[in-house]
Amino acid sequence: MATKGKLKIAGGIAGGVLLIGGSVVILALVAVVVAFYFLFEPWLERHIVETAQERGIALQVGELDWGLFWIRIEKSRFSLIGVKGVRGEIASADIELDGLTPVGIDATGVDVEVAGSAASLAFELSEWTKNHPHTYSLRMVGRDVSVVWRPDPAGTKWVEIEGGTVIPTEHGGKFSVKQAKVAGIALGEIGAAWTKDEAQVGLGFGLASPKDAPVRIQVNHSLPEPTADIQLVPTELAKLAGPLAMVIPVKDIVVRAAAHLKFPPPGQPGPVTGSLTVDLKGYVPPHPVELNGFVFGDTTTFSTELLVSEDRQTVDMTKSEVAAGAFKLRGNGKVTRHDNDAHLQLDLRGDLACAALANAAAQSRLGQAIGSLVGQLAEQALKGSVAVMVRIDADTSDLAAAKVTRTIGVGCGLKPLDPHALDALKGVGDLLRLPGLPEIPSAFPALPSALPPLPVPLPALPWPDRPIVERDAGQ
């Protein structure tokens, strides 16, 4: 009996120990779960923020909820790293995971604010795309998306979009809205689209199809030095006044532009090089009638090579050229960026051969038949050239107040006439005495040793963005 009693006591003690031990284990497990919950959620939030940053998005999470294969964020803010003018808020977004890697996002209630000129946004978005091409691989769905764009950050709204949708496509995605307001006027459907493959990302703005959009950006991110090609298809210049944050008081002019940019390798600092060409169809610079032989056609072209500084604050323009027919000005310039505008300085020069100038003037005054013969004499008699120099100093926010300085240098002189020139002179004299022609003196006065200054006004510089107020030299 004593032995049985001892066994019962020992069994009771062992059971108590097991009960206490089990309780401790359960409490420990509960503590671990609670600790995991409270420690994992902050870690998960940090992981989401860091993953977004790797994809070029600065994310501020408002509220977070999660499950085994999903994460939901609410009342959150975002911006694009390196693109100063794009930021927004997300009411709710479900993030699809592959392990802990986001592979898709389904967002509802997205409000996007865009600020800055079209040119600045195109450049910054191209560089952002070069640095973060894999972001375009995310499967994106968006509902109730609104966008407000102010080309001037302190100005009025240019584009207002409400109720937009984002849907994935086979190789990218597209954003569309049935109705949008531009400058307060209701327009039809507009949108944007993107495509991605292993080598490049294509972007289109204006229509929900990259190949049909009026503005196209193609970023080749797989090259050792990535490139971006930005194209503006032929568009009425007046329609670009809002996106460029400028007043363009001209009509019936169609502009086409193309820029090629070469970036440093991803993750490495350095300048950006490239080129820009702008065609203005329907516009030629104002010019004296004597220059009709030089300025012909209906298109003016501006071209330049670009060098963007490492801090992206200055743009050096070299080998710049403005051409209208045979009349050309060449030179260099510089653009310095500020918070809301930029300062432009451009120096251009053109040289017109004195003989060609006299030929053109003769034809404009005497008609092509007689003028061409007189022009032949001028080619035999004149040497040297006339230099036309133009300096532009302007702020993009107030181009109407641009300072334009024009200078003329005349270097014309006489050269000895050969016998062939004298024969030509005799032929001109015979022609001028043909019956029916008005009487013209048979002898020409002696040619001066230097031509007088060119008639004014001089041809105005066809600057692509906006006509510039002209001032005489010295003002």
**How distant, in Å, are the alpha carbons of 137, 138, 196, 212 from that of 171?**
8, 10, 6, 16
How much is the pLDDT for 230?
A: 93
How much is the pLDDT for 406?
A: 77
* CA gap 77, 75 in Å, rounded: 7
Q: Is residue 72 part of a domain?
A: yes
The residue among 342, 301, 293 whose CA lies nearest residue 120 is 342
Q: Is residue 446 part of a domain?
A: no
Per-residue pLDDT of 433-444, as tens digits, reads 434 434 434 333
How much is the pLDDT for 372?
A: 55
Least confident of 18-27, 54-63, 352-361: 18-27
As a whole number of Å, the end-to-end CA separation of the chain is 126
Q: Which of 81-95, 178-192, 320-334, 340-354 has the highest mean pLDDT?
A: 81-95
Per-residue pLDDT of 177-195, as tens digits, reads 877 877 676 767 788 889 8
Taking 80 as the threshold, does the pLDDT of residue 36 lie above it? Answer: no
Q: Is residue 52 part of a domain?
A: yes
Residue with tokens 């779960």: 33
Taking 80 as the threshold, does the pLDDT of residue 424 lie above it? Answer: no
What does the pLDDT average to over 401-425? 63
How much is the pLDDT for 238?
A: 66
* CA gap 342, 309 in Å, rounded: 14
How much is the pLDDT for 213?
A: 79
* CA gap 58, 37 in Å, rounded: 25
Number of C-beta neighbours around residue 296 at 10 A: 12
Taking 80 as the threshold, does the pLDDT of residue 475 lie above it? Answer: no
**How distant, in Å, are the alpha carbons of 256, 258, 277 from that of 464?**
10, 13, 10
- Compare 296 and 82 and report the one with higher pLDDT: 82
Here the tokens at position 401 are 């107040």
Here the tokens at position 162 are 């409400």
**How distant, in Å, are the alpha carbons of 117, 292, 308, 443 from that of 346?**
21, 25, 16, 46
Taking 50 as the threshold, does the pLDDT of residue 404 lie above it? Answer: yes
Least confident of 12-21, 25-34, 99-108: 12-21
Q: Is residue 360 part of a domain?
A: no
* CA gap 194, 57 in Å, rounded: 17
Taking 90 as the threshold, does the pLDDT of residue 287 lie above it? Answer: no
What does the pLDDT average to over 272-277? 95
How much is the pLDDT for 304?
A: 95
What does the pLDDT average to over 305-318? 94
Q: Which of 7-21, 195-209, 253-267, 453-467 has the highest mean pLDDT?
A: 253-267
Here the tokens at position 327 are 């009349």
Burial class (CB in 10 A: 0-12, 13-18, 19+), 259: buried
- Compare 303 and 369 and report the one with higher pLDDT: 303
Taking 80 as the threshold, does the pLDDT of residue 291 lie above it? Answer: no
**Residue 98 sits in which domain range?**
28-221
Taking 50 as the threshold, does the pLDDT of residue 474 lie above it? Answer: no
Q: Is residue 396 part of a domain?
A: no
pLDDT band of residue 202 (cuts 50, 70, 90) is: confident
How much is the pLDDT for 272?
A: 95
pLDDT band of residue 364 (cuts 50, 70, 90) is: low
* CA gap 75, 337 in Å, rounded: 34
Residues whose CB falls within 8 Å of the CB of residue 398, separated by 6 or more in sequence, listed in order: none
What does the pLDDT average to over 386-402? 78
pLDDT band of residue 88 (cuts 50, 70, 90) is: very high
How much is the pLDDT for 438?
A: 42
What does the pLDDT average to over 202-226? 83
Least confident of 103-117, 384-398, 408-422: 408-422
Least confident of 42-56, 145-159, 354-368: 354-368
* CA gap 291, 328 in Å, rounded: 12
- Compare 278 and 459 and report the one with higher pLDDT: 278
Q: Is residue 178 part of a domain?
A: yes
Answer yes or no: are the C-beta atoms of 386 and 352 closer than 8 Å: yes
Mean pLDDT, the chain, rounded, equals: 75
Q: Is residue 40 part of a domain?
A: yes
Split into its structural domains, the chain has a count of 1
The residue among 272, 271, 270, 233 whose CA lies nearest residue 254 is 233
Taking 60 as the threshold, does the pLDDT of residue 322 lie above it? Answer: yes
pLDDT band of residue 90 (cuts 50, 70, 90) is: very high
Partners of 108 in the β-ladder: 92, 143
How much is the pLDDT for 31?
A: 53
Burial class (CB in 10 A: 0-12, 13-18, 19+), 182: middle
How much is the pLDDT for 44?
A: 82
Q: Going by DSSP bridges, is the β-strand pair 180-182/185-187 parallel, antiparallel, or unpaired?
A: antiparallel
* CA gap 315, 199 in Å, rounded: 28
Q: Is residue 202 part of a domain?
A: yes
Here the tokens at position 254 are 């169609």
- Compare 357 and 468 and report the one with higher pLDDT: 357
How much is the pLDDT for 433?
A: 42
The residue among 231, 220, 229 whose CA lies nearest residue 197 is 220
- Compare 357 and 307 and report the one with higher pLDDT: 307
- Compare 473 and 398 and report the one with higher pLDDT: 398
- Compare 331 and 390 and report the one with higher pLDDT: 331
User: Phi-psi category of 115—alpha, beta or left, where left has phi over 0 and alpha has psi -120 to 50?
Assistant: beta
Residue with tokens 């600092």: 269
- Compare 416 and 85 and report the one with higher pLDDT: 85
